[in-house]
């Protein structure tokens, strides 16, 4: 049996764009520190925007950890993503306060405009859309976030403004 993770057709496409140099840098930085798997995976996610399959094989080989174990860690923590994510992450709060003040309309409007649902990424990799249980700023309900930017007192008009603003930014 081969030591590397089996490579499928989909992965071959990934392989053509996967540049191991970034992952190697991260591994190099942490490789002699005990308990280095989490920081390495976080560093890789920062570098690529997600954790590529081939990076998992590379980390497994370099850190001498089973690929299965890495996959277990990646699926345990919500912070890790195994698919490429959009440049701009839109989060819409579905908590109680937001719900009461019309979060559902906000979600619907986003879907009508950019046609992606929860945890989906647009084909051009510009947007990833996520519904979250509570963003912890109920006073600003209904609430949305794009990356680290917060948008309170959301309205349908504001949705259009947000999309316009981020569509004009570079990818």
Partner 1 sequence: MVTLTIDDKQVQVEKDATIYDAAKVAGVNIPILCHDKKLKPFGACRMCLVEVEQMKGRLIPACTTPVTEGMIVRSSTAPVEKARKLVLELLMLNHPLDCPVCDKGGDCELQNLAYDHKVNANRLSDEKFHHQIDYNNPLIERDQNRCVLCGKCVRICDEIVSRGALTFINRGIETKIGTEFDGPLSCEFCGSCISVCPVGALLARPFKFKSRFWALQKKASVCGYCGTGCSVTLGVKDNKVLTTVYDENQGFHNGQLCVRGRFGYQFINSEKRLQSPLVRKNGQLVEAGWDEALNLVVSRLKGAGNSAAALATPRMTNEELMLLKQLMTQQVGSANIDHSAGYAHTALTEGLFKSLGVAAAPSAITDIQKSNLLLVLKSDAYETHPVVGFEINMAVKNKDAKLHILSDKRGKLAKLPNATTLIHKPGSEVALLNALAKVLIDENLATAAASVAGFAELAAGLSAFAPEQVADQCGVSADALKGLARAYAAADKALILFPVGLAYPAHDAQLAHAAANLAILAGKLGKEGSGLLVLQEKNNSQGAVDVGFVPAAGGMNAQQILDGCVSGSIKTLLVAGENPLISYPNQAKVKAALDKVEFLVVADLFLTETAELADVVLPVCSYAEKTGTFTATDRRVQKIEPAISAVGQSRPEFKVYGDLISALGGQAPVTPAEAFTQIPAYAGIDYASLKADGTFASVAIKPALVLPVAPALQVESGKLALLTGAALYHCGTLSQYGEGTVAVCPEGYLELSHADASRMQIADGAVVTVASANGSVKLKARVSLRMAEGVVFAPYHFASSAINQVWTGAAVTSVTISK
**Interface with partner 1 (CB under 8 A):** 1-6, 53, 56, 61, 64, 66-72, 75-76, 82
Q: Please state, in angstroms and rounded to a whole number, the distance separating the CA atoms of residues 111 and 27.
A: 39
Minimum CB distance to partner 1, residue 89 (Å): 21
Which of 109, 120, 58 minimizes the C-alpha distance to 83? 120
The nearer residue to partner 1, 39 or 72, going by C-beta atoms, is: 72
Q: Are 60 and 96 in contact (CB under 8 A)?
A: no
Q: Please state, in angstroms and rounded to a whole number, the distance separating the CA atoms of residues 100 and 107.
A: 13
- The span from the first CA to the last CA of the chain, in angstroms, equals 40
The nearer residue to partner 1, 45 or 109, going by C-beta atoms, is: 45
Minimum CB distance to partner 1, residue 3 (Å): 5
Minimum CB distance to partner 1, residue 63 (Å): 11
The nearer residue to partner 1, 5 or 154, going by C-beta atoms, is: 5
């Amino acid at each position: 049996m081969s030591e590397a993770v089996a490579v499928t057709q989909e992965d071959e496409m990934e392989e053509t764009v996967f540049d191991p140099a970034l992952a190697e840098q991260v591994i190099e930085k942490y490789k002699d520190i005990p308990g280095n798997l989490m920081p390495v995976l976080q560093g890789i996610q920062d570098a690529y925007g997600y954790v590529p399959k081939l990076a998992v094989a590379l980390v497994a080989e370099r850190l001498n950890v089973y690929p299965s174990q890495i996959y277990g860690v990646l699926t345990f923590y919500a912070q890790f993503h195994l698919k490429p994510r959009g440049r701009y992450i839109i989060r819409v709060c579905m908590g109680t306060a937001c719900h009461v003040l019309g979060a559902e309309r906000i979600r619907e409007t986003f879907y009508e405009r950019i046609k992606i649902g929860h945890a989906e990424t647009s084909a051009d990799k510009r947007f990833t859309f996520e519904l979250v249980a509570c963003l912890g700023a109920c006073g600003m309900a209904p609430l949305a976030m794009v990356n680290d930017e917060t948008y309170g007192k959301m309205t349908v008009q504001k949705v259009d403004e947000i999309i316009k603003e981020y569509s004009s930014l570079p990818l």
